[in-house]
Every structure is written in C-alpha cells, then in structure tokens.
C-alpha cells in the first residue's frame, strides 16, 4: 500500500538522519533520490557527508529538477527517500525565475500522482523555512512562499508528518488540534 511520510524541520535539525533511520526500518533496499547539485566545493563536501552516512547498498538517483519522472520509472512498491524537497523547489525556481509557481505546482502534483500510481512508500525530507525573518529580497520571498505551499501540499497528502527538532522526531499529526482534523 502506498505510503507518504514527511520529515520537516530547520537546518541541521537531524531530519535527514531521522528519515534515513525510518527508511532503513521499512526495507533493506531503499532508493535515495538526491536533489542537491554540487555548485561549489562547500556543497560538494556536504553532499559527500550525506553519501557517507547512508547505507552503501542503497541506490542513489540524482534528480535535481525532475523527481516525478524519476519516481515514475521505479518499480511498484519501492521504498524511496527524497532528500530534499527544499532543494528541488529551489532548483525549479532558479530554472524558471519568471514564472516559477506553475512549474513547482505541476511538479508537486506529479510527484503525488507518481507516488500513488506506483504504490511507492515515499519518504520526503524538507526544510521548514517560514519560521524566520521575512527575506529582504523578492526572490527569497518567492522561494519562501513556494516551499511553504509545497510543504503544505505534501503534508496534506501524507500518512505521517514528523517535525524534527534537535534530532528528536515529533509526530505532528498526533499533536494536531481536534478542530483542524
């Protein structure tokens, strides 16, 4: 049965680590979809750290712009860890600065459709970026809004949502207000 699980939190909260732990409990073979691009040495180092911490027998697929197409090519029932939605939205925004919203919305809808159509157990990692200051520049505000809406769409479709704070995963659905259910 298709499952969608979302791990969100701030930068360096432990969300990727917790999502990897969760994925390991679901299956031995996990397909890891990476959205990061090594544009500089520091990012290359970060990617290397992520690669080193996950099991070497996991399959890694790089999909900085077309996650939905990658999901659509996977065998039915696969356990998939998407790390991360935040970078996917950033990549799509930077590739489509003049009209990013329809592109991002279409990709989120296509991800959700592929997850259902292929009966995937999809685990999504994202950042909660809207809890800080309002960005001083327009592109930053557009990005904050795009990822906020994308996170809401994924969370609305998810079977479970975990907020990771200081390495501790909190099950958000259990804490949801009764009137909002």
Looking at 29, 45, 50, 121, which residue is catalytic? 50
Distances (CA, A) of 62 to 51, 167, 177: 12, 26, 38
Q: What is the DSSP letter of 113?
A: H
The average pLDDT across 27-41 equals: 90
Q: Are 151 and 85 in contact (CB under 8 A)?
A: yes
pLDDT digits (tens, 9 = 90+) for 43-88: 888 878 888 788 889 999 999 999 999 999 999 999 999 999 999 9
Residue 150 pLDDT exceeds 80: yes
pTM of the model: 0.93
pLDDT digits (tens, 9 = 90+) for 122-133: 999 999 998 888
Q: Which residues are annotated as a binding site for GTP?
A: 9-16, 34-36, 62, 83
Query: Domains in the chain, please, with CATH?
Result: 4-57+64-175 (3.40.50.300)
Annotation says 50 is catalytic:
yes
């Amino acid at each position: 049965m298709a499952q969608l699980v979302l791990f969100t939190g701030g930068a360096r909260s432990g969300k990727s680590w917790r999502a990897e732990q969760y994925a390991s409990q679901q299956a031995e073979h996990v397909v890891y979809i990476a959205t990061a691009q090594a544009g500089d040495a520091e990012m290359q180092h970060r990617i290397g750290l992520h690669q080193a911490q996950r099991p070497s027998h996991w399959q890694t697929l790089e999909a900085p712009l077309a996650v939905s197409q990658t999901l659509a090519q996977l065998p039915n029932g696969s356990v998939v860890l998407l790390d991360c939605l935040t970078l996917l939205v950033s990549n799509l925004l930077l590739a489509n600065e003049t009209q990013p919203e329809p592109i991002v919305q279409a990709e989120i809808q296509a991800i959700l459709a592929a997850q259902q159509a292929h009966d995937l157990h999809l685990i999504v990692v994202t950042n909660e970026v809207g809890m800080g200051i309002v960005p001083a520049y327009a592109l930053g505000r557009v990005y904050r809004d795009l990822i906020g809406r994308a996170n809401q769409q994924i969370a609305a479709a998810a079977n479970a949502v975990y907020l990771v704070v200081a390495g501790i995963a909190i099950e958000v659905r259990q804490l949801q207000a009764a009137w909002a259910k």
